[in-house]
Structure 1
Amino acid sequence: MPAGTLLYAQSGGVTAVINASASAVIQAARARKVRVLAARNGILGALREQLIDTTSMPLAQVKALAHTPGGAFGSCRLKLKSLDADRAKYERLLAVFKAHDVRWFLYNGGNDSADTALKVSQLAAEYGYPLTCVGVPKTIDNDLAVTDCCPGFGSAAKYTAVSVRECALDVAAMAETSTKVFVYEAMGRHAGWLAAAAGLAGAGKDDAPHLILFPERAYDEADFLARVDAVVKRVGHCVVVASEGIRTADGRFVADAGGGKDAFGHTQLGGVASQLAGRVKDVLGYKVHWTLPDYLQRSARHIASKTDLEQAMAVGRAAVECALNGQNAVMPVIVREADAPYRWHVDIAALSAIANHEKTMPKGFIRKDGHGITAAARRYLQPLIEGEAYPPYGRNGLPDYVVPKHAALRRKLPAWQG
């Protein structure tokens, strides 16, 4: 049995399959007879020494995590700054690791989390503490660098494409006497991957979504309204998908909610769909409905992609192998081998190549008119939403999700005062 314990933590917004990665981590570590601790509410739990002993979880419960959405151990949005600016926090983390003999740290998150794991590895090396840090990829935005796609995205993309197709059928049925324009807001601050996924809902020229607004392209209100009007006159109705992060040519977020910055320093966005709907109604006079799926996009485990589930579990297993093999400051990533039939494998990348980098939509994925996806984008996206991975259902007609009761470890250090 390897000496030491493994600490796993979840970070940022959760996904429909982040718990699948957690399940894979725990199962892989148990197979190697390694004890797994989990930080309650992510890095905050590590700082507060609020640790969960997963050895008390029955195997059936661990396996059930794979079909349960949310964050089984809790997550948080806490951006740690540089080693110098936040040195006290990093040193506190190292003290907690030492107190509980943590020799492997697995941080399940996106760009900022990769940066944190990298900095923790650097501090441990500075102090001569034997710690291996591994990132586990997760984000519904699909903006993580190096990896071909990111676990969490495929399921959110499937939810988006299905929802847009279903809503489009509803709008088409009522357009003669009711709603003429429907606006669907997709997550995506700087990268339009989820908005692009909506393009899978239809294939023909007049199929919904009729217009997609990407953050990679400047928003022009006059052009947008003219296109909406043209679609309504040609098709009878218009379905619009807008990324929350669309900006005007001067760089201003169309949906800047005026709420300041979040914990990661990002502008607080809100309601681009409602704003667009309001402008369509005021200028064009059409009856408009809009929707903001928000958390529904990332929590919809009931319609998860099988591809996404398999990749989420694969990177979890690979992360454990990386850690126990001493591969420090790395992250398992997805490598695409072929589009059709879709083939992929897991490789290992350096955290330094991932941390604080952002992958936006390639120009070749956005139609020349700027309002739809190309055949290349369709070839990339289609395999990621394929396959069904339904959760088991109970007699009450609802998914049989698991909410584990956690066994907290006794603290060994003074309470954190940060």
Structure 2
Amino acid sequence: MAQGTLLYAQSGGVTAVINATASAVIAEARARKVKVLAARNGILGALREDLIDTGKESAAAIRALAHTPGGAFGSCRFKLKSLEADRARYERLLEVLRAHDVRWFLYNGGNDSADTAWKVSQLAEAFGYPLHCIGVPKTIDNDLAVTDTCPGFGSAAKYTAVSVREAALDVAAMADTSTKVFIYEAMGRHAGWLAAAAGLAGQSPDDAPQIILLPERAYDEAAFLAQVRKVVERVGWCVVVASEGIHNADGQFVADAGGAKDSFGHTQLGGVASYLAGRVKEALGYKVHWTLPDYLQRSARHLASHTDWAQAQAVGKAAVRYALEGRNAVMPVIVRGSDAPYRWRIEPAPLAKIANHEKKMPASFIRKDGFGITERARRYLQPLIQGEAPLPYGRDGLPKYVTLKNVPVARKLPAWKE
């Protein structure tokens, strides 16, 4: 058995396949006879010394984790600041790692999590503690730099495209005497990848969604309303997909929920679909329906993409391998070999090139009028939603998911005062 313990933690908004990564991490570590602890509720669990012994879980439970959505060990939105500004927290974290002989730290999350893993690696180096930190990619926003795509995105993209196509059939059936405009709100603060994925639902300009609003382009209300009118007059109805992060030319979010902030310091969004519906009804007089899928986008394991599921497991397995090889401050990223046939591989990338960088939609992926995606975008997106991931169902007609025991590890340190 390798000397030391591996600590795994989940961070930020969960995805339909983040537990597939966790399953791969634990299975790979077990195969290499490495003890794995999990931090309950992300980095907070590490600070609180609230750790879980994954060795108490059966092999069958760990396998079932691969098809279970949510975050098996709990996640959190909690960002550590710089080493200078948050020194007390970093020193506490190091105390916990030492107390449990943690030599490998895997942090599974998005951009802020990559930043935390990078900072922890710097902390360990500054204190001379032998620790290998690996960032493990996850986000439905697909906005991590360097990696071609992010585990979690493909499944959310598939859910979005399928939902928009199905809803469009409903709208088309009712448009003569009822709803003329349907508005779907997709997650995406600064990058419109998920809204763009809705474009896979249709093939021609008259297919839904006929209008996609992306944060990469400033929202112009007059142009938007004119486009809605044009589509309804031509097609008879219109489906709009709007990213929650669309903003005007001054940079102000169209849907700013009272200026509230989340734990990462981000403006709380949500409500852009209802706002747009109100404007369409008031200005154009059309009957409008709208939807805010919110958590459904990231929790829909029943519509997971097989590509996404396979990549989620591949980065987990690679993260363990990199850690045990002695790599530090890196992330296993997905590198695309070709679009058709779709080929990909996993390679290590420095966290310094990923943390605090954001990948937005390239201009070449956005239609010239700003209301749709290009063929280049379609070639990029299409492979990511392909295939279905296996999912067992019970006699009650519902998916058979697993709930872990999550047996806590005995604390060795005084309680942490937050």
Place the TM-score, normalised by the shorter chain, in its bin: over 0.9
For 2:138, the equivalent position in structure 1 comes to 138
> Does the 8 Å contact 1:303/1:390 carry over to 2?
no
Deviates more, 1:316-325 or 1:255-264: 255-264
For 1:59, the equivalent position in structure 2 comes to 59
**What are the Cα deviations for residues 328-364 of structure 1, in whole angstroms up to 9, with x where unaligned?**
0000000000000100000000000000100000000
Distance 2:177 2:72 in 1: 46
CA positional deviation for 1:390: 3.5
1:281 matched to 2:284? The reply is no
Distance 2:186 2:208 in 1: 15
For 1:201, the equivalent position in structure 2 comes to 201
SS of equivalent residue, structure 1 residue 261: coil
Aligned length: 418
Distance 1:370 1:242 in 2: 12
> Does the 8 Å contact 1:135/1:351 carry over to 2?
yes
For 1:82, the equivalent position in structure 2 comes to 82
For 1:102, the equivalent position in structure 2 comes to 102
1:394 matched to 2:390? The reply is no
> Does the 8 Å contact 2:56/2:405 carry over to 1?
no
For 1:161, the equivalent position in structure 2 comes to 161
List gaps (5 residues or longer) in structure 2: none
Structure 1 residue ranges (4+ consecutive) displaced by more than 4 angstroms after TM superposition: none
> Does the 8 Å contact 2:307/2:386 carry over to 1?
yes
SS of equivalent residue, structure 1 residue 156: helix
**What are the Cα deviations for residues 62-90 of structure 1, in whole angstroms up to 9, with x where unaligned?**
01000000000000000110000011111
SS of equivalent residue, structure 1 residue 67: coil
1:358-397 alignment to 2 at 5 Å?
Answer: 358-397=358-397
For 2:217, the equivalent position in structure 1 comes to 217
For 2:357, the equivalent position in structure 1 comes to 357
CA positional deviation for 1:391: 1.2
For 1:245, the equivalent position in structure 2 comes to 245
1:236-385 alignment to 2 at 5 Å?
Answer: 236-385=236-385
- State the one-letter code of the partner of 1:75: S
- State the one-letter code of the partner of 1:126: A
- State the one-letter code of the partner of 1:412: K
SS of equivalent residue, structure 1 residue 258: coil
TM-score normalised by structure 2 residue count: 1.00
- State the one-letter code of the partner of 1:382: Q
TM-score normalised by structure 1 residue count: 1.00
Deviates more, 1:334-343 or 1:387-396: 387-396
For 2:416, the equivalent position in structure 1 comes to 416
For 1:31, the equivalent position in structure 2 comes to 31
> Does the 8 Å contact 1:18/1:71 carry over to 2?
yes
CA positional deviation for 1:205: 1.7
SS of equivalent residue, structure 2 residue 257: strand
1:173-188 alignment to 2 at 5 Å?
Answer: 173-188=173-188
SS of equivalent residue, structure 2 residue 161: helix
**What are the Cα deviations for residues 132-177 of structure 1, in whole angstroms up to 9, with x where unaligned?**
0000000000000000000000000000000000000000000000
For 2:70, the equivalent position in structure 1 comes to 70
CA positional deviation for 1:259: 4.0
